[in-house]
Amino acid sequence: MIGRIAALGDSTSCGEGVGLRVPSSCTWPARLTAAAPGAELVPLAAPGARLRDVRVDQVGAAVATGADVFTLLIGLNDVSRSGFERHAFAAELAEVVVVLRDTGALVLLGRLHDAAAVLSLPPRLRDAVRSRTAQVNEAVDACAGGRVHLLDLGAVPGLRMRRVWEVDRLHPNVAGHALIAQAAARVLRQAGCRIGPVLQPRLPAAPSSAREAQWLVRHGLPWLGSHLPQVVLPVLGAAVRVRRPV
């Protein structure tokens, strides 16, 4: 029986984005916890978190909870920001996972989906994002085994639909969170945990072009303008390296 679930990671787990917020009871860790009879959720994920933030700010608090299950979905902010280096990421992720695993709890570790399939990106930028995503997932795969189980977002067919993503195309909406929770529940059942069904809400219509434009003007462009040196330029630099002949 699961007594406590501690959720680590970034905005995909806490439901907060730029100008966006999913009700806390509708995030995928909350829905997963609701499906585990008698379980309590300890939400530790924070918007904008990178792996180093998890290691410094979340791991100690997570261990102190005495949780039976840790969920960790991280990497998207590492992929899109400056300072990403695949070997350093892999080493730091392994360190975090070992600390969580050695408590005796189960670790539900997330593999990233192909965000470039939902976003509208120039080819060079798309290739760079996919290359970094593959590197993150390679590091995740290396941590699997024993009490560390993988939640592969790329293997959830419903997440390929535009209708399960918020207007920014980066954060899952309520229906998207439910799909992730359903996939997580399947993994934990296979690991021997007692998990009930996760109900799937009705799929909403995809955000209209007008709504996307409104969000872009009010939230997207101001955020991008203040983060341009940390986000777009480093990834474009990576794109040049990806396309450079060996």
Residue 124: predicted pLDDT: 78
Tell me the average pLDDT across 97-114.
97
pLDDT tens sequence across 138-197:
999 999 999 999 999 999 989 989 899 887 878 899 999 999 999 999 999 999 999 999
Q: What number of other Cβ atoms are within 10 A of residue 24's Cβ?
A: 13
Residue 221: predicted pLDDT: 47
DSSP alpha helices (H): ranges in 75-148?
Answer: 76-80, 86-101, 123-143
CA-wise closest residue to 75 among 89, 62, 87, 61: 89
CA-wise closest residue to 228 among 218, 217, 220: 220
Average pLDDT, the chain: 86
- The lowest-confidence range among 34-48, 73-87, 158-172, 188-202 is 158-172
Amino acid at 28: W
pTM, to two decimals:
0.86
Beta carbons within 8 Å of 103's beta carbon, 6+ residues apart: 63, 66, 67, 70
CATH topology of domain 4-243: Rossmann fold (3.40.50)
User: For 75-112, b where at least 16 C-beta lie within 10 A, e where not — what string?
Assistant: bbbbbbeeebeeeebbebbeebbebbbebebbbbbbbb
pLDDT tens sequence across 214-239:
655 554 445 455 555 555 444 444 44
Q: What number of other Cβ atoms are within 10 A of residue 230's Cβ?
A: 14
Dihedral sign from CA coordinates of 55, 58, 63, 67: negative
Every domain of the chain and the residues it spans: 4-243
Phi and psi (nearest 5°) for 84? Answer: -75, 130
